[in-house]
Structure 1
């Protein structure tokens, strides 16, 4: 059974619907096993795009996967059972809760406790102007070159 923190107010996602999690800490019932990231930076436009695959298991049945995300435009999120079975890929609905830098990925069918699943997320964003997230930086060599 999915649990929430003891806060009484249900947070609202960026689209106004209730966000299914109200704790800044991620739920413990989703266990990440392995991450694969592919990121392409465009230093001319100061943007990037990428795909991340996360292998997960659930310790209890759930339809909700909560992850951290900061200022990413998620264009596609899918779930498949196992690591290789692309035929079982199903789209996930995405809710954003910027106050906690979280997204909720909503599966059409509950994940079962135990099996391996793969979440694939396609996204894009601007390179950060601070030292938070993925950012552009320069350095000088000992010879003074940038």
Structure 2
């Protein structure tokens, strides 16, 4: 029997704005570390707010999340949703990424006004399944 893939989505606020260079450095290091841990996922960044999905072995994801919660670059970390799936949603991505502050974000196929919703908006907090749909929508339109 195939084991389930654990996933966790969190939302956090950066303690200070990240430059594009800093975001790319963070992403490069995350991709290297995640590949070693068999973790895949996606990171969205907009107006100093991160929304990230991590998926993989449950212990590895939970351990990484604990490290993220201790990272001084984050504050207000909120677990939006966690659960398990029969297969990975972000198989090929050690960490997919989209900077929604970029002017190019509006050129993503399927872009809509909903994508202008702040990542920390009450819609995501009060209806966490929207976070998962939001991430899947980005993946589908960026793949």
Computing the radius of gyration from Cα coordinates, the structure with the larger value is 1
Give TM-score scaled by structure 1 length.
0.23
More strand by share: 1
Q: Which has the higher helix share?
A: 2
